[in-house]
């Protein structure tokens, strides 16, 4: 996953967005499967842990956004080749679907009111997780691509613009300008015309 999405700061942004995407996918799947009764179904199926998960995801997003803004403020960005948009979207969708399946299986084991096994994953509208994962994966890929485009533009501006004042090195020029006086000043002017007496 991180190989397709990068590492370091990009990996942090991708992880934070995957957290948001996993929450959105889970909630969307319940909305599709249970409609107006989604809130009651979430409560019955033992989803009280989602409050803590949401808090952690928000914290991860704040850290990732802070890192992104700090990178922009410092200006120490380098242009790098970004993976294809469709590839990032596919990897993100696959990761989201895997997270969703693990989440539902674990809920089926731990929570008393949650259906277990395949019924917990795919039953009651669980099939909607597949198209939702694809849609959310594409949104994540577009957000990551947008962040990289901002950083690439900043890197291009830094490379093509004037250097920072601290980077300017003042060195004496190897060529010294020699000023030569004009002909009159060197007494090389031609002879004046003869004086005419009347």
Per-residue pLDDT at 138: 94
Alpha helix locations (H) across 35-84?
38-44, 50-74
Per-residue pLDDT at 90: 93
Per-residue pLDDT at 77: 67
Per-residue pLDDT at 46: 63
Query: Which H or E run contains 127?
Result: none
Q: How far apart are CA 3 and CA 68, in angstroms?
A: 19
Per-residue pLDDT at 195: 72
Q: Give 10-residue mean pLDDT values along the chain (198 residues).
A: 53 88 86 70 66 87 87 71 83 92 81 67 76 92 87 73 51 61 59 70
Per-residue pLDDT at 78: 66
Alpha helix locations (H) across 75-128?
85-110, 117-122
Per-residue pLDDT at 2: 43
Q: How far apart are CA 137 and CA 129, in angstroms?
A: 11
Q: Where are the domains of the chain?
A: 2-167
| CA-based radius of gyration for the chain | 33
Per-residue pLDDT at 172: 60
Per-residue pLDDT at 40: 65
pTM, 2 dp: 0.63
């Amino acid at each position: 996953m991180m190989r397709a999405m990068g590492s370091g700061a990009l990996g942090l942004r991708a992880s934070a967005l995957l957290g948001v995407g996993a929450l959105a996918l889970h909630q969307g799947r319940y909305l599709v499967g249970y409609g107006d009764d989604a809130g009651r179904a979430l409560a019955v199926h033992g989803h009280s842990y989602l409050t803590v998960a949401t808090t952690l995801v928000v914290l991860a997003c704040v850290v990732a956004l802070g890192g992104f803004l700090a990178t922009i403020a410092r200006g120490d960005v380098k242009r790098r080749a970004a993976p294809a948009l469709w590839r990032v979207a596919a990897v993100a969708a696959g990761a989201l679907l895997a997270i969703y399946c693990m989440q539902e299986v674990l809920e089926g084991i731990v929570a008393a009111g949650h259906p277990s096994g395949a019924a917990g994953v795919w039953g009651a509208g669980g099939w909607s997780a597949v198209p939702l994962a694809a849609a959310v994966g594409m949104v994540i890929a577009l957000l990551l691509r947008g962040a990289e485009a901002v950083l690439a533009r900043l890197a291009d501006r830094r490379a093509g613009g004037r250097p920072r004042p601290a980077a300017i090195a003042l060195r004496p020029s190897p060529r010294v300008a020699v000023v030569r006086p004009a002909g009159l000043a060197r007494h090389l002017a031609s002879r004046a015309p003869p004086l005419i007496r009347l």
